[in-house]
Structure formats: C-alpha cells, structure tokens
Amino acid sequence: MTVSDTRDSKTDKTGPWLREAIAADGHCVVDHTIIPDEVDGIRACLRKWIDHPQIHAIIATGGTGLTGRDVTPEAFRGVYEKEMDGFAAVFHQVSFASVGVSTIQSRATAGIAGGTYLFAIPGSSGGCRDAWNAVLRIEFDRAHGPCNLVELIPRLTEQ
C-alpha cells in the first residue's frame, strides 16, 4: 500500500521498488493500491487485506512523517491487536546509520491484527530501502535464526 495524496502510478517510486524487492526475495505480492492520507480509507483497506487468506503481511509506505496529513500510524494503531514495538526500535537504529538524527522524523510502526503482520514504513526511497533491506527482508527469511516472523505465522491467532 502506498499512502499519499500526491503520488500516482506514474510518480510512486517506493511502491514499485518494494514490490520488486519482495518478489526478488521469493515472496508473492498479492495486491497493491495507492490510497490517500485518510484514516478511514487506510483502515478499510487494512481490514480487507487482513481478511484475505493469502495475505500474511501488509507493508504500507508513506504517511509516517510529522506533517498534518501524515496519518498512517494512527490508522494502523486503530487496527492493531498487538503492537510490535521492537520494529520501530530496530528501524530507527538502522535509519540513524543512514540519516542520523533525522530518523526522529519517522513514525514507522508495526503490529499484528487477525493473524496478519502490519508494517508502516516511510515513503522516502531511503527509508523504504532501510526498512526492507535491513529489517523486514531478514525477518521474512525462513532460514533466519534464531527465529523469524515466518515461523510464527501459524501461531499468530492462537488463543
């Protein structure tokens, strides 16, 4: 999902890059959309994809900044059953190495709902690459140890 009021299929750079990177790492991209910075629309899309049996993770780029229209974290937090605090901590550590203290301008977040992982990452090319290459790509590699997110998928809905 690309969250933006200004990008379209011709100007969105991070969405296509991320879809290609995900596929290159052996994962299937089931769907993609560009959606405006509107909490209700983002939540509706999340809920639709959470209900899709072939979707195990949703990654949104954009809307994680500090401006008035950046509402992706608020939308995601309204859907989470559990927040994955460690994602933001690790993302900021990686981002700090790339952009220094400017990493404080990102509100990247992650959580789980309905047995589906939800990640909201920056819409900037650098932030998107940092999130995928240094964090998500590794955690979505079944061979990564001592544990990884893939092996937890069947257990996310345990009671």
List the domain boundaries for the chain: 2-155
Q: Kindly report the pTM of this predicted structure.
A: 0.96
| Cα 103 to chain centroid, rounded | 16
d(CA 142, CA 108): 23
Ranges of the chain whose pLDDT falls below 70: none
CA angle 55, 152, 98 (to 5 degrees): 80
Q: What dotted CATH number matches 2-155?
A: 3.40.980.10
pLDDT reported for residue 159: 87
Instruction: Report the percentage of the chain scoring pLDDT > 70.
Output: 100
Q: Is 159 helix (H, G, I), strand (E, B) or coil?
A: coil
Cis peptide before 16 (omega within 30 of 0): no
Q: What share of the chain is helix, strand, coil (3-state, %, to 5)?
A: 45, 15, 40
pLDDT reported for residue 129: 97
Closest by CA to 88, choosing from 144, 47, 135, is 135
pLDDT reported for residue 102: 97
pLDDT reported for residue 126: 96
